[in-house]
Chains A and B, each alone.
Chain A
Amino acid sequence: MFRRYWVTLIVLAILSPIGLLAEGTAWGEWDADELKETLGYVPQGMERFKDLWQAIFPDYSMNILGDSNFGHYTEYVFSAIIGSAIIYGTVRLITKLILQQKNKTICTK
């Protein structure tokens, strides 16, 4: 019964590279290099915390397919699929735990 939703999500994942056509960075999401260019310096606190975390696929890229547009687009689609799978699984897991707890409380009542 959810077939059409799945189709929609898959189409979105495949079309996601459309989102790469928009040039530039979201406001307030510049990295230190970009900020240094416009501002002339990198704020000290930012310098300290900016690299706190190393993402597995930073900016939805994987650095395996090279620096071509095709590479970027393909990695973006892969990121969409991997991210979707992890998010879907995480929500299913959390809701499973919620419903298990719910049943436990009903049974012990």
Chain B
Amino acid sequence: MHIPDGYLSPSTCATLGAVMVPVWYRALAKLKETLDVSRVPLLAMGAVFSFLIMMFNVPIPDGTTAHAIGATLIAIILGPWAAVLAMSVALVIQAIVFGDGGILAIGANTFNMAFVAPFAGHYVYRFISKNAPQGSNRQVIAGVIAGYMAINFAALLASIEFGIQPILFTAVDGTPLYCPYGLNVTIPAMMFAHLTFAGVAEGIVTGVALKFITRESSNLMIVPNQIGKEV
């Protein structure tokens, strides 16, 4: 889901970048209010976890690959605004150091994976796990479903960003200027990869890690009344 440079028009990139600037500003402002020093190591490790889990490419039967992203896990453990920061740092370093995702496309990639994914995961998780006791199976199941749905939301948005390119931007000779595939191709392709394999991977990663972290350090996890202040 790391869109490289050249697939999106500069105006698409600028638009999504312009959306992300206030999101980042708000994330920093929220964290200034609510971030506790005891949670800082966990936040940094969350970003590292996300980076590492994205290296585990999963084969897709159509000959492509996809991977989990870990966004929902961080949103559940530390809150969605902390997840915005952790995911954004991971994605920016991936783009700058490893060329995974474009530089112009940083706005688009962070919009999908560092904003939409953690917030979608956060809301789905809170909805399903409402009033569930800490450490209960319902929390784990909520994590699995939230992870699955969140990565699919992000993939859907990425596929729309790809798919609108040939509608909006064509060269003088009529050929597409950027991503050559329209929505009729991009949505089925991206959703196939994520509804089947990457979504399942994200669900399992979220569930397993959530169970592990709840057992190890439930005292550091963000609780619903803190979330109330955060969102």
Contacts and interface: CB of A to CB of B under 8 A. Distances in A.
Whether chain B is bound by chain A comes out as yes
Contact of A43 (B62, B99, B178): B178
Find the residue from B28, B55, B89, B186 having the highest chain A CB count within 10 A. B55
A86 B47 contact: no
A108 to B, nearest CB: 14
B58 A22 contact: yes
A1 B6 CA distance: 45
A44 B48 contact: no
Contacts of B175: 41, 43-44
A64 interface: no
A99 B45 CA distance: 18
Interface in B3-35: 3-7, 9-10, 28, 31-33, 35
A41 to B, nearest CB: 7
A77 to B, nearest CB: 10
Interface string A89-101: 0111011101101
B88 to A, nearest CB: 10
A65 interface: no
A105 B33 CA distance: 11
B124 interface: no
Interface of A: 1-2, 4-6, 8-9, 12-13, 16, 18-29, 31-32, 35, 39, 41, 43-60, 76, 79-80, 82-84, 86-88, 90-92, 94-96, 98-99, 101-102, 105
Interface of B: 1-7, 9-10, 28, 31-33, 35, 37, 40-45, 47-49, 51-53, 55-60, 62-67, 85-86, 89-90, 93-100, 102-104, 158, 162, 169, 171, 175-181, 186, 189-190, 193, 212, 216-217
Shortest 9 CB-CB distances between A and B: which pairs? A55-B99, A45-B177, A46-B6, A50-B6, A22-B59, A91-B44, A19-B56, A22-B57, A53-B103
